[in-house]
Amino acid sequence: MFDFYRVAACIPRVTVADTEKNTDEILKKIREASAHSPAVIALPELALTGYTCQDLFYQDTLLRQVNQSVLRLLLETKDEKSVIIFGAPVMIEQALYNGAYVIKEGRILGISLKTFLPNENEFYEKRWFSSAEDLLTDSVTLREIGLSIAEEDDYEIPVGNHIIYNISDELRFAVEICEDLWAPIPPSSLYALGGAELIVNISASNEIIAKREYRRDLVRMNSASSHCGYLYVSAGSSESTQDLIFSGHAIAAENGKILNENRNYIDDDYVLIAEMDAGKIRADRKKSTAFRDSMNVFMPDISQKIIQAVSDTGLLSSDGSYIQVKKHPFIPSARSARERRCQEIFTMQVCALAKRLDITGTKPVIGVSGGMDSTLALLVCSGALKKLSRPASDLVAITMPAFGTTGRTYENSLSLIRSLGAEPRIIDIKEACTLHLKDIGHDMEKKDTTYENTQARERTQVLMDVANQVNGLVVGTGDLSELALGWCTYNGDQMSMYGVNAGVPKTLIRWMIETLSESESFASSRDVLKDILATPISPELLPPDKDGNIQQKTEDAVGPYELHDFFLYHMLRHGFSPAKIFFLAKKAFRQDYTEEEIRRWITMFYRRFFNQQFKRSCMPDGVKVGSISLSPRGDLRMPSDASGRLWLSEIERLS
C-alpha cells in the first residue's frame, strides 16, 4: 500500500568448486531470508562455484555441475514468492560469462551478465570470462545454455547487460556485478535512467586496508545520484584465502542513505535485511530535473538496447514494520553529527545576514522576547557583526514588554543582550496597545485574536520605525515550523527585512541554542541560554497566571512541534500522502502519543498549512539551510487559495 519492499543480502558459506555443497548452503540462506518475506533475495557473485575457482572454470565437469545446481535451485524454490538472484558462470555460444541468474517461483526471468571484467593487480577475470558487450544475442533458451529440460518445457530467457526486471508493474530493478559499480559510468546509472528503482549488485570484492569505506561510499553515492535503492552483497570469508581475503560486506542504501550494513569487518554466513521505501525514490525522481534531463540525453540510445524482463506474478510488498522511522527527521541522531549540523547552519545564517548588512550598510534591529526563536536570531546578529568586525554596540536589541510578558522572559532577554556586549533598549508597549484597542472600540476584557495581534503588530511597527531612526535592518525571528502552520501575525511577527530563522524548524532550534551555549564564542551567555531553553514555548500575548508564570503555551493550541515538523518533512521532502505520513507517525511516536492525538494534530497541520499560505506568499528574504524551504521564490510555489479538501478528506478516512 505504501510502496515498502524488503530486501535480503545473503552471504552463504562457500566450498570452492563444490557446487552441490554450495547449493545446500544457498538454499539454507534462502529459507532463512524467507522468514522475513523479502521481495528480493540476493547472493554473491559466482556463489554456486565460489569466485576463486580460477582455471577450474575451464573444466567441463564444473560447468556441467553448475547447470545441475541451477535446475535444482529452480525446482526447490518454485514455491518461493521472493525474487532470488545468485551468481554463476554461464556458457553462451561457446563463450563463458560471469552471470547473475534472476529467478522467481521456479522460473528464470533473465540472466544479467557482467560488463567490466577487472584484469589488473589481483584480478584477472578476462582469462576466463567474456564481457557482456561481446554477446551477440539478447536471449537464449534453457537448452541453449545447457540446462537439460523437456522440449515442451523450454522457454526463452533475456540475457545481457541491458535487462530491467519488471515485476507486475510494482517495482523495477536491475542487476550489475561487482566491478560494474567501479566503472566511470556504471551500468546501474543507465538502468536507473531506464526505470530501475532498485539496483542489486552481486559481488566478490576482496578486502584490503580502507577498501570497505571506499566501497560503502561508492554504494551510497550511486544510490544518491541515481535516486534509487541499492543492495550490495559480496562473497564471504569462506572463499579461498590463497592470496586474498573476502569480507562478506553487505550494504543496503537508498537515496544516498545507508539503511543497513553488516558490522563485522570480516564476515561470513549471515543474512542482512533492510526495508526500502520506493515512494521516496519516486518522489525524488519526480522533482529532479537533472534526472529527467539525463534521461533525455542518454535514453534515446539506451532505450533501443533495454530488455524488459516481465513477471506476471506479484512481488512481495511489506508492511513497513522493518522501516526505521526517526521522530525528528531534521535532527541527526548522533550527538557529534548533531553538533556539527548546528554549527554549519549557524555559520550559514551568520554569513547570510552579514552579506545583507554589508550590502545595505545597516545595523541589525531585532526584537528580543526571551524565547528560543528570538534568542537564536539574536545570536546570529551577534555573529554577523563579529564577522564584519563591527562593534557589539551596532546591535540594536529591543525588548518590548506587553500584557503577557513574564518576569522570567523579560529578565532573560535583558541578560542575554548584555551578555553579548550590547545595551538593551526597553520599549513598553502596553500603553500604546491599550490606546489602539480603545481607538478601534475593542473591550480590553475580551482576550481574543484582536487583543493578541495588536501586540504583535505594535512590536513590528516599533522595530520598523526604530530601524528608520538608526539606519537599521529589522531581523525576523520566525522559524520554519511557524511558517508552515501560519502561527504568526500577518504584518506582525510575520514581517521583517530579513528572516534568519526561516529555514530552521522549531525542533532544531532548541538543539542549536544548546550547541551554541557550549561554544567558547558564547561562554558569557551560557547560563541565560540554559534558562531560556527551560522556558515553555509561548507568544506571551495573554496575561500570566496569578503567580506570574506563563499561562499561554503554544503547543496547547496548535499541537506538539515535533509532530508538525515530522508532518512537514515527509509532506514536502517526499510528497507523501496524509495516510502514509499518519502510518509513519504512528510508528515513530507510538510511545508518545495516542493514535487519536496524532490524527487530531495531523488534521490541524493540513488545515493550517493550506489556509495560511497567504502569509508565506509575501514572506521576507531568508536563507535556505536544509532540504525543506517554504520560500515562495524557491521551493514552495503554491497558490494562496489552493484547497486542502483532498488531503483533509483522506485524513477523515484514516483507520
**What is the torsion angle, in degrees rounded to the nearest 10, for the CA atoms of residue 291, residue 296, residue 302 and residue 306?**
70
d(CA 457, CA 432) in angstroms, rounded, equals 11
With 0-12 CB in 10 A as exposed, 13-18 as middle and 19+ as buried, what is 298?
middle
Cell of 174: 536491475
Q: How are beta strands 95-104 and 107-113 bridged, if at all? A: antiparallel
Q: Which of 25, 29, 45, 80 is catalytic?
A: 45
**Contact present, 194 and 306 (Cβ < 8 Å):** yes
Phi and psi at 328, nearest 5°, equal -120, 85
Closest CA to 596 of 562, 559, 553: 559
d(CA 299, CA 305) in angstroms, rounded, equals 10
Length of the chain: 655
Instruction: Enter the DSSP assignment of 246.
Output: B
Phi and psi at 239, nearest 5°, equal -60, 165
Q: Which residues contact 124 (CB under 8 A, 6 or more apart)?
A: 118
Distances (CA, A) of 377 to 36, 373, 510: 49, 6, 12
Q: Which of 25, 80, 176, 178 is catalytic?
A: 178
Q: Which residues contact 443 (CB under 8 A, 6 or more apart)?
A: none
Instruction: Check the CA dihedral 311-314-319-321 and report its sign.
Output: negative
Q: How are beta strands 229-234 and 107-113 bridged, if at all? A: unpaired
**Contact present, 615 and 488 (Cβ < 8 Å):** yes
Instruction: Enter the DSSP assignment of 524.
Output: G
What's the order of all strands across the beta sheet hosting 250-254? 257-261, 250-254, 229-234, 198-203, 171-177, 163-167, 307-311
Amino acid symbol at 376: L
d(CA 477, CA 208) in angstroms, rounded, equals 51
Q: Is 486 left (phi over 0), alpha (psi -120 to 50) or beta?
A: left
Q: Which residues contact 266 (CB under 8 A, 6 or more apart)?
A: 207, 237, 245, 247, 248
Q: Which long-range contacts (CB under 8 A, 24 or more apart) does 515-523 make?
A: 515/338, 515/339, 515/342, 515/343, 515/346, 516/342, 516/346, 516/376, 516/379, 519/343, 521/383, 521/386, 522/379, 522/419, 522/420
> Residue 86 is inside which H or E element, if any?
strand 83-92
d(CA 500, CA 483) in angstroms, rounded, equals 13
Active site residue 114: yes
Beta-strand runs (E) in 300-452: 307-311, 363-367, 396-399, 425-426
End-to-end CA distance of the chain, in Å? 14
Q: Which of 114, 363, 506, 580 is catalytic?
A: 114
The catalytic residues are: 45, 114, 178
